[in-house]
Amino acid sequence: MIKIKVPATSANLGPGYDSFGLALNLFNIYEFSQKKDDQFNISIKDSNNKIVNFKKEDNLILKTLLTMKEYYPDQIETKGLKIKVDLNYPLDRGLGSSANAIIGTLCGINEIFNLELNNKKILDLALQIEGHPDNIVPALLGGFTISQVEKGQLNYEKFTVSKKINILLFIPNLEIKTKNARKIIGTKIDINAASQNIANASLVTAGFIKNDLDLIKKGSKDYIHQKKRLSLNNKLNMFFNEISKMIESPFFLSGSGSTIIFLSKKDFTEKEEILKMKAKDLGIVNYLIETQVNNQGIIINKVGD
């Protein structure tokens, strides 16, 4: 049996649209096993141990497996293959669940069928399925990552993040479909907005490299996607705008939302009380998770290791 832990990821981080990614110490767990005389099965359970069902066309684990089967038809045998998944954070909250499923499946199939795919090949296949690189790279490699696709070629760089930086996730009970969140951005960007985002993304990058939260804060404002995505939910939009006046730490909409990610080197107790109070005022059901950056990336174990 192969057991794989894939970290949740937070993408964009303000101005780094479709490029920045951050791996978190929060994992979904995948188990792969095979008995030749048994049936193929995918079993997915949420954090409450309830079965999660997907339509065939929405099941990214199945889609990833079938994509790999097309490339390696003689090496992959689905008969008797069992894939068991334990989800430890909710879907459609901007925590990279799609990339998580894709990377987890690619790595699990790679291991159980001894395909010997390297990271480049895994990421190339993941990009083909996911369509953008910001979550797939940190899900595999960990850390703070910058990704770019040029003429179909994926280029990236990973940076190790200081353990002094703590993470707080504000996770509302509000689903935001990535498809809708991407559509609302549109196809045209004002040149001044693009210029400001380039400058701010540079500051955020420098801040992570130098372990400087003040630099990250200075560069945290986005001019391209975040405001439009927040407009998908009035309560979340009001919440985000109100806490920006109350909290000094850098924070961003995580991916397409609805999760908001906070960075700090201090204890979060005071901030948590502010968030709980404001969420209660606006009637936003939520929960909070304290964690840190995961610099290792995916964790793979074989039975007997």
User: pLDDT tens across 28-84, in order?
Assistant: 999 999 987 788 999 999 888 888 888 877 899 999 999 999 999 999 999 999 999
Regarding whether 135 and 210 lie in a shared domain, the answer is no
Q: Which domain holds residue 260?
A: 166-292
pLDDT for the residue 53: 84
- Total domains in the chain come to 2
**pLDDT surpasses 70 at 119:** yes
Residue 21 amino acid letter: G
The CATH number for 251's domain is 3.30.70.890
pLDDT in tens, 251-279: 999 998 899 999 999 999 999 999 999 99
For residues 238 and 135, membership in a common domain is answered with no
For a pLDDT cut of 90, what percent of the chain falls above it?
A: 82
Question: In which band, very low, low, confident or very high, does the pLDDT at 184 lie, cut at 50, 70 and 90?
Answer: confident
User: Region 105-117: what's the mean pLDDT?
Assistant: 97
> Is residue 305 pLDDT above 60, yes or no?
no
Residues 153 and 17 in one domain: yes
Mean pLDDT, to the nearest integer, of 207-220? 97
265 contacts: CB under 8 Å, gap ≥ 6: 164, 165, 166, 213
Residue 78, CA atoms < 13 Å, CB-side half-sphere: 16
Name the least confident of 37-46, 195-204, 243-252: 37-46
Q: Give pLDDT, residue 304.
A: 58
Which DSSP letter does residue 44 get? E
Q: Are 122 and 203 in the same domain?
A: no
Same domain, yes or no: 107 and 244: no
User: CATH number for the domain including 11?
Assistant: 3.30.230.10
Query: In this predicted structure, what is the pLDDT of residue 38?
Result: 82
Residue 303 pLDDT > 80: no
Distances (CA, A) of 71 to 67, 115, 124, 211, 273: 7, 11, 12, 42, 51
Determine how β-strand 251-253 pairs with β-strand 20-34: unpaired
User: Confidence class of residue 201 from pLDDT cuts 50, 70 and 90?
Assistant: very high
Indicate whether 201 and 245 sit together in one domain. Answer: yes
Domain identity same for 194 and 155: no
With 0-12 / 13-18 / 19 or more C-beta atoms within 10 angstroms meaning exposed / middle / buried, residue 53 is: exposed
Kindly tell me if the per-residue pLDDT of 91 is higher than 90: no
φ/ψ region of 185 (left if φ > 0, alpha if ψ in -120 to 50, else beta) reads: alpha
**Between 169 and 232, where is the model more confident?**
169
Question: Do 46 and 144 fall within a single domain?
Answer: yes
Report the mean per-residue pLDDT for the chain. Answer: 93
Based on the domain organization, do 133 and 24 belong to the same domain?
yes
Span 98-118, average pLDDT: 97
- Whether residue 178 sits in one domain with residue 153: no
**Residue 110's CB: how many other CB atoms inside 10 A?**
23
Q: Are residues 82 and 136 in the same domain?
A: yes
pLDDT digit string, tens, across residues 282-293: 999 889 999 999
Same domain, 141 and 174: no
